[in-house]
Structure 1
Amino acid sequence: MGRTEPEDLDGETSHDVCRRVHGYETRARCLPERWMCDVFHIDGSLRDIRVLDVRRADWIAVLERLRTVADETEVEHPYARLDPVRPAVADLFRAWCDEPDGEGTTFSFRARFGAVWFFALPYDEEEIEFSLWPDDVLDGAGVATVLRFLTEVGTACGRPVLLTGESVQYHPGLRTLIRHDPTVGIGHI
């Protein structure tokens, strides 16, 4: 029995669009709408989720919320005095930012929602940044997972959340692929 795909309004399947527009085989991917194929096309780069102009309290609120709502979270850190498996989030930030032996080090935080992992390597207290591999977004449910993650982050800090292409640092000309504003909702390209 063959696999069926959703069709868009022009009668072209999402696999057809991905092959035609992006020039690669889509494996077992089935993204139901064209904009999803554009946002999550597999090009070897990550997608970044950003919240700009934040304070430490925003970071802490986001990580604590993710620990509560994610299917799974993991933390790795180099700080000997902290719990190696589940350190308090506020303690991670104090060790990273305020203590002399924390300078030049960071920690990693990962959260899994469904089949999609989101990960952060904090390097700037003033910008929250998570990344994900578009390869993990296999279908409409994967896209819904990303949208849920954006909503959870925005709810935790009460600020707009941007999904962009991969870059070292945000700059005003960087194209926003999806935006979630807690007061307005989600919009895509």
Structure 2
Amino acid sequence: MATSYLAAMGGTNRTGRVELTHEDAHAGERGTRARCLPEPWMCDVFHVDGSLRDIRVLDTTRVEWIAVLERLRVVADETEVEHPYARLDPVRPAPADLFRAWADEPEGQGTSFAFRARFGAVWFFALPYDEEEIEFSLWPEHVLDGEGVAAVLRFLVEVATASHRRALLTAEVVRYTPELPTLISHDPDTGLTSHI
């Protein structure tokens, strides 16, 4: 599936490798790592500035959260869960049980759990703090090339598809408001992905 994103972003050569067409001048404050991304707009989206990028789905409930976590367990290259709930499976608890222990039971009050999913070389992580907004974060410095961008786009599409709601990639903020710019979005109703 990632190959189709890569082909759309810059084409592939005879060996199936991505032909990268744009050198990223944004190599971080210390200039320790240069990146090569296929399109200039991607350099702006994944500019290494010391902050995270967030993937958000707004106006959700526990149902959408559970659907997203279950979907990610199926399609991601790898997933991990950490939680403090003694009665749940320590390695692979059911998402519904995680939310029940976290939100509904006395042992879960004041705690949370962590969920991580890896697509290619990029890890996406969530530490749920409410049910009304799905939020995953990623470090832009992990998006090193066209394959990294493809992983982000695939993750965005999977989250939007599983939740049946528009998924947004934004800059890191405590709480999203509509006035903030959306860097990339995917609308599952139209199937369209757009960027700044």
TM-score normalised by length of structure 2: 0.86
Tell me the equivalent position of 1:10.
none
Whole-angstrom distance in 1 between the partners of 2:179 and 2:108: 32
Uncovered stretches (5+) of structure 2, i.e. residues with no partner: 1-18
Structure 1 position 77 matched with structure 2 position 92: no
Tell me the equivalent position of 2:195.
188
Uncovered stretches (5+) of structure 1, i.e. residues with no partner: 8-12
Deviation of 1:80 after TM superposition, in Å, equals 0.4
Structure 1 position 14 matched with structure 2 position 23: yes
- 1:22-37, aligned counterparts within 5 Å? 25=31, 27-37=33-43
Structure 1 position 138 matched with structure 2 position 152: no
Deviation of 1:6 after TM superposition, in Å, equals 4.0
Structure 1 position 154 matched with structure 2 position 160: yes
Structure 1 position 108 matched with structure 2 position 114: yes
Q: 1:78 to 1:28 in 2, by over 3 A?
A: same
Deviations 1:15-35 (A, max 9, x none): 34x36xx87637241111110
Runs of 4+ in 1 over 6 A off after TM superposition: none
Whole-angstrom distance in 2 between the partners of 1:167 and 1:101: 29
The answer to whether the Cα contact below 8 Å between 2:29 and 2:49 also exists between their aligned partners in 1 is: no
Deviations 1:51-94 (A, max 9, x none): 00001000000000000000000000000000000001100000
How many residue pairs get matched? 177
Tell me the equivalent position of 2:70.
64
The answer to whether the Cα contact below 8 Å between 2:68 and 2:162 also exists between their aligned partners in 1 is: yes
Q: 1:84 to 1:54 in 2, by over 3 A?
A: same
Deviations 1:106-143 (A, max 9, x none): 00000000000000000010000000000100011110
Tell me the equivalent position of 1:42.
48
Query: What is the alpha-carbon root mean square deviation over aligned residues?
Result: 1.6
Structure 1 position 120 matched with structure 2 position 129: no
Name the % identity.
73
Structure 1 position 167 matched with structure 2 position 173: yes
Deviation of 1:96 after TM superposition, in Å, equals 0.4
2:92 to 86, 94, 97: 86
Deviation of 1:14 after TM superposition, in Å, equals 2.5
Whole-angstrom distance in 2 between the partners of 1:179 and 1:88: 28
Whole-angstrom distance in 2 between the partners of 1:28 and 1:39: 15
The answer to whether the Cα contact below 8 Å between 1:15 and 1:26 also exists between their aligned partners in 2 is: no
Task: Tell me the SS of whatever aligns to 1:183.
Answer: coil
Tell me the equivalent position of 1:129.
135
The answer to whether the Cα contact below 8 Å between 1:48 and 1:129 also exists between their aligned partners in 2 is: yes
Task: Tell me the SS of whatever aligns to 1:138.
Answer: coil
- Letter paired with 1:15: D
Tell me the equivalent position of 2:14.
none
The answer to whether the Cα contact below 8 Å between 2:54 and 2:170 also exists between their aligned partners in 1 is: yes
